[in-house]
Chains A and B, each alone.
Chain A
């Protein structure tokens, strides 16, 4: 592999990738730096293996200095989408929306509609947890209706769990470097994000097999 070929490829990366971006941090012009900007999405088995955990992070690169003023947007719903029959259309959703000092979690439940527009699930699927204020002990006491008993939630600031030498990646695509450093430097070290963590019994989202899942942010119209 000739260096010139690699450099050509890297020059093209710069064209393809455009501006500074990472896992999904500031990934596109319309959401960049706004209250609906998703930075990351995780889905993994809980400490209790009967449960699955969903994590959505928004509004990345929050410094400790700016953390006490960071807050969720009351007009932005964070929605976890769950497809259980491999057609990439949501069969269940979990919706998170701030209400005063609380984060309200609706579902998992069959959505009222699928696609680009959503309405809130019925209140009979509601859980609620107080949003943890910056610098205070994490709150995870979740109040559930009977239909969503077993759902546990957290909402508040966390360390950004994403790690990457994004600065070096940027230099490489800009043609200012030709290799990553070893060891690299975590560009996201020391920064916070606003996190919503929801742990649900697997029985509420299909029980067994493989699901396809994705997170969306949707703004109240």
Chain B
């Protein structure tokens, strides 16, 4: 009977809150009012949704969890990359990382930022690649080079660098690192 009452108590609460009824030794009922928050936007690497996802799929990309993005979006990414960049118009083309269109878009379609806990953290600093994203990293030029620059970053030079190489305000060397507002 106590269990039955507990169950009814829980059911009454379902509509208002998510709940946690635990029947412990004393048959006490613990209630936690836990609101549910639902996914609206997400981001790992910069500009990925912007550049590689077709217009009709942009909302879907934002609400597909990363572990499922690759299976859903890899083919679209490859199609769009090959349409986008003359540096990937032949099947043997690669970027400067040696990635062909399939390898490159398989990497990007799972939109997470890889971050090292053991040292330099940068999107690309000329030596380290995809070990984080620092404020000063020129991520757009890095991405333009990987998309348009071909095997040695030399192709399509007028498209592979936007020539904006730094922020308009100097970053701070200490917390909170971002510059004060305008």
> Is the Cβ of B162 less than 8 Å from the Cβ of A164?
yes
> Is the Cβ of A41 less than 8 Å from the Cβ of B113?
yes
Given the complex, which residues of A lie within 8 Å of B84, measured CB to CB?
A: 9, 12-13, 16
**B-side interface residues, number (CB < 8 Å):** 79
Known: A52-B115, A205-B117. A119 touches B181 (CB 8 A): no
Known: A45-B120, A168-B162, A182-B161. 4 other contacts (CB 8 A): A28-B62, A185-B164, A208-B117, A208-B118
> Is the Cβ of B50 less than 8 Å from the Cβ of A17?
yes
Nearest chain-B residue to A195 (Cβ)? B178
In the bound complex, CA of A212 to CA of B114 (Å): 5
- Complex A-B: 8 CB contacts under 8 Å: A17-B55, A42-B133, A43-B121, A117-B39, A158-B181, A165-B163, A205-B117, A217-B41
- Residue B3 at the chain A interface, CB threshold 8 Å: no
Given the complex, which residues of B lie within 8 Å of A191, measured CB to CB?
A: 182
- Residue A149 at the chain B interface, CB threshold 8 Å: no
Given the complex, which residues of A lie within 8 Å of B51, measured CB to CB?
A: 16-17
Name B residues whose Cβ lies closer than 8 Å to a Cβ of A: 18, 34-44, 46-47, 49-52, 54-55, 58-59, 61-63, 65-67, 80, 83-86, 89, 110-122, 131-135, 138-140, 155-156, 158-159, 161-169, 171, 173-182
Given the complex, which residues of A lie within 8 Å of B35, measured CB to CB?
A: 119-120, 220-221
In the bound complex, CA of A15 to CA of B51 (Å): 10
Name A residues whose Cβ lies closer than 8 Å to a Cβ of B: 1, 5-6, 9, 12-13, 15-19, 21-24, 27-31, 34, 36-38, 40-47, 52-53, 55, 64, 67, 76-77, 79, 81, 83, 87-89, 112, 114-120, 134, 138, 140, 152, 154, 156-159, 161-165, 168-169, 172, 178-186, 188-192, 195, 197, 199, 202, 205-221
